[in-house]
Amino acid sequence: MIGWLSRIDMMVRLLVLAILLATFAPVTGSGQLAAQYVSNAAIFLLFFLNGIRLSRKDVRAGIGNLRFLAPLTFWCFGAMAAAGYGMFLIAGNVMPALVALGLIYLGAMPSTVQSAAAYTSVAEGNVAASVVSAALLNILGVFVSIPIFAWLSGGEAVELGSGGLFKIFMILLLPFALGQLSQNRLGNWLKANPLIVSWMDRLAIAIAVYVAFSGAVEQDLWNMLDLAAWGYLIAAIAGLLLFAFAGAWALSGLLVLRMGDRISFMFAGAHKSVAMGAPLAVVIFGAEKAGLILVPLLVYHLLQLVVSAPLATRLAQRQD
């Protein structure tokens, strides 16, 4: 049993733990405000560390590789957002409104950094391209994901006024900028303590998911979604996964990329980031809406890891 659990990705285990904790011991009432402050502080620290970790040299190199980055950006924020909207139109009337809107939110999210790079490495792809492109997409996602979601959803769940922009600046952009400015002073310490940084990443995401799901449980999530609604949701997400992996792979072929770059393009283009999605949802929507909107993204995140493991192994064997 222990051996089986050890093979499950640590982030997956933390997400499941956060969801179970929110289900059986949700933070409610006055405690929710305190939990929101703790979550915001953890998100601030997460983006500060990311600002230190992504070197300015890598940022410049990634931006310069437009033949790879430009179509990946189009795929991630254009094609995938359109696919999420399409699934919303198809399946949106058989599930709660905010959960259905979560399909659009899922499509508008940027790529992951950690898992996309990890599976690119297993598949013997271009890891450097994967890390830099996914990190740049996450930076871009702070600016474009919510406007794309607001446009496609017709502004039903969010109005991105000055208050929303101020939250994005204070909790996401400001700490990232401070991290970039602190690279010379803290960069070496960060490289010497990768385990601390990795755990801070995971805990910040888990706290955001716990706070958001507590709000969803308070809104009676588990009674709102019956077995039929769960079936439609999983079918919609399976369709998105198929479109994401097959479409990204086909587009990389049309671009005549080298095999290593094709592998990097596929994983960066198909993966969606809970690390960005959960904190951004809590900051913009508040816990009472964020938990419901995050349901499709959390299910997608778990399933993308299940799909990626055998796919990466198969690609590595094919190259050998």
CATH of the domain at 55: 1.20.1530.20
Mean pLDDT of 137-145: 85
* 218 C-beta neighbours (distance < 10 Å), count: 17
**Quick check: 106 and 240 in contact, CB under 8 A?**
yes
The number of folded domains in the chain is 1
Residue 8 lies in a domain: no
Range 37-63 average pLDDT: 75
Question: Is 100 among the domain residues?
Answer: yes
As to burial, measured by CB atoms within 10 angstroms (0-12 exposed, 13-18 middle, 19+ buried), residue 131 is buried
Is the model's pLDDT at 148 over the cut of 80? Answer: yes
| Residue-range definition of the domain harbouring residue 96 | 51-180+191-319
pLDDT in tens, 291-308: 889 999 989 988 888 888
Whether residue 119 is predicted with pLDDT greater than 70 in this model: the reply is yes
Q: What is the mean pLDDT of the chain?
A: 83
- Count of CB atoms situated within 10 Å of the CB of 57: 10
User: Residue 244 domain-assigned?
Assistant: yes
What pLDDT was estimated at residue 245?
A: 97
Residue 20 resides in a domain: no
Is 215 among the domain residues? Answer: yes
Under 8 Å between Cβ of 66 and 50: no
Tell me, yes or no, whether 16 lies in a domain: no
Q: How confident is the model at residue 73 (pLDDT cuts 50, 70, 90)?
A: very high
Contact call for residues 294 and 225 (beta carbons, < 8 A): no
pLDDT in tens, 265-301: 999 999 998 878 888 888 788 777 888 899 999 899 8
Of 269, 283, 213, 267, nearest to 46 by C-alpha is 283
- CA 190 – CA 185 distance, rounded (Å): 10
Q: Is 24 part of a structural domain of the chain? A: no
CA triplet 181, 186, 140: central angle to 5 degrees? 45
For 151-202, the pLDDT digits (tens) are 898 866 665 555 566 666 777 678 878 888 888 888 888 878 877 777 777 7
What pLDDT does residue 115 have? 75
Q: What's the pTM value of the predicted model, to 2 decimals?
A: 0.82
In a domain, 31, yes or no: no
Q: What is the mean pLDDT of residues 223-252?
A: 93
Per-residue model confidence (pLDDT) at position 161: 52
What is the largest distance, in Å, between two alpha-carbon atoms of the chain? 58
Q: Which of 50-64, 97-111, 112-126, 195-209 is the least confident region?
A: 50-64
Residues 6+ apart with CB under 8 A from 291: 22, 212, 213, 214, 215, 216, 217, 219, 221
